Amino acid sequence: MTFFNDPDLAGPPASALRVRAMNAADSAGVAALMPHLGYPSTEADIVARLQALLAWPDNAVFVAEQEEKIAGLCQIHGVRLIASNGYAEIATLVVHSDCHRRGIGTRLLEQALSWAQDRRYERVRLRSGVQREPAHRFYENRGFLRQRASYAFELTLPQNESASLPVMPRASGA
**Whether residue 9 has pLDDT greater than 80:** no
Each residue's pLDDT tens digit, 112-137? 999 999 999 999 998 887 778 788 88
Report pLDDT for 17. 92
Taking the domains of the chain in order of start, what are their residue ranges? 18-140
Output the average pLDDT for the chain.
Answer: 85
Cβ atoms within 10 Å of 52's Cβ, excluding its own: 15
The CATH homologous superfamily of the domain defined by 18-140 = Gcn5-related N-acetyltransferase (GNAT) (3.40.630.30)
Measured CA to CA, the distance from residue 70 to residue 143 in angstroms comes to: 26
Is the model more confident about 68 or about 28? 28
Report pLDDT for 5. 53
* Cβ neighbours for 138, distance < 8 A, ≥ 6 positions apart: 8, 105
Cβ atoms within 10 Å of 23's Cβ, excluding its own: 11
Each residue's pLDDT tens digit, 126-165? 888 777 878 888 888 888 888 877 777 888 899 876 655 5
| pTM across the whole model | 0.80
Each residue's pLDDT tens digit, 41-76? 999 999 999 999 999 989 999 999 998 899 999 999
Measured CA to CA, the distance from residue 7 to residue 11 in angstroms comes to: 12
Measured CA to CA, the distance from residue 160 to residue 134 in angstroms comes to: 39
Q: Which of 107, 114, 15 minimizes the C-alpha distance to 69?
A: 15
State the greatest distance between any 2 C-alpha atoms of the chain, in Å, as a whole number. 56
For 89-103, what is the mean pLDDT?
91
